[in-house]
Structure 1
């Protein structure tokens, strides 16, 4: 079978590899249909793995597929059923896993496609515990965006930031995969949405998703523009995933008692903050990584109800290097999907 494999830093090849064995008890075998790219794929492609890994490595951290076969004792799934897969090998037995906080697993075996072989292969076996059914009416292409893009935003906005109807929110990088989702999810509950973009061509596109205001951060300082738009009050929530370039500005545009939730650092992982500002303004800062299996199911339900991911590009597996280069250029609007 084919597997998209990182053979060395910045070199991907489609290799022929042996197919997996028949699934064991409690396992299902999945035929992968679509893989969605994320910045974690770019990090892995550049060699930025924050744990030991061995190359060659099958890439892909987010994907959808269908059940090809089931092992003994599997009752939740049947052959041909569309599914998505959880992107980390969690233990299922630690307190966090038992409480449904899968992304806080104490014994995680690694992130698929980053530390261990990922989803960009035609067949793989997984524990049925880590597989989520896809509702009727959700395509394989759209479903591939649920395990990271949609569920990460679901976890950030509602589990962590506790975003409420009618609040105001600043969404950074509104044209990105998670930025587009954050705009849609926030607008769906009646929030006032301000977003930043890096190109004027994206302004009308983010407004079409529901953004009330769009700021080209390459032309205008977003801090000043947000203060003007909110009459110097600031926003209730900042959706942060850019990192060092925007972090302190993001704190400046928060209301007193406002919440900042962050899941990324594409512009750099380190910054300094004014601690007096932090405690005097009573800011609440939430770090957010990944999501729970529950968040993925919630995201799929939103897709089934009509909230569809924005797709920038669909490309065959043979052209994935160009797709990753497009992600690095920051010219994308939405998600890139690799199909088998």
Structure 2
């Protein structure tokens, strides 16, 4: 058993009945029941007597009442068959790529051509022609970290949401941008390819959160600002801290700090104050923006950054985007 999950080995000799029930949280398939001597009539009798219940086609719980989460996962995997992989959001949560959410539906991936209903009360089944290339060496079997990250991003409703989700996943550090880049080449997604490539490129360049992605796209790129350098080290109180964006490479001694939710924590707030003081003592301009400003008024943010950059770069053009006319922009 791994991470509380039972190990289902269809190619191994069947375990004894008590062991099977214990490993699979009381959930069994029709095939397993027949292998243990249960006739079709006996199975039907157990269900009629309400000692058992059918939870999915050819999958049964040997008890009544609601199924606990572990039993639901076993049922989904038994329904999908020996090749079923936990995938998409279900796999993403188990890999730690996404925070825990609603338990259902349980998402699994099976080989293309597998005959099964794609969506049942608590199972969402996906089919993949590349199934054998997705398998990670885990127990229970899941899609690989990189494939899982791509799958959940592609499931988003639009390209921008896909890019932001992949940016957030890569920002966890639990999956390598290089691994995702390689899988995008080996297994090109049917949609959002450019958006996912852009997410990998930005994270490789130092973007670490959705807030930083919004700043890079809606502030810098949309307004033609020079791309700042991300995650640049600065020594403060004898310790190496990191600035979100600096524009020294563009000829301006300007630091931009992006305050996300983590900056509300006391230790992070202290580091922010010390970095701010260090920048002031070093004669650097410093601007601080939070989620609200960057997400709702990026044009105002861009105007403020432009104003500071112009102090050092007289030839910097003032660029506008399609949203600028709708915001009060000062310079």
Larger strand percent: 1
Return the TM-score normalized by structure 1: 0.29
Does 1 or 2 have the higher relative contact order (CA < 8 Å, sep 6+)?
Answer: 1
Greater C-alpha radius of gyration = 2
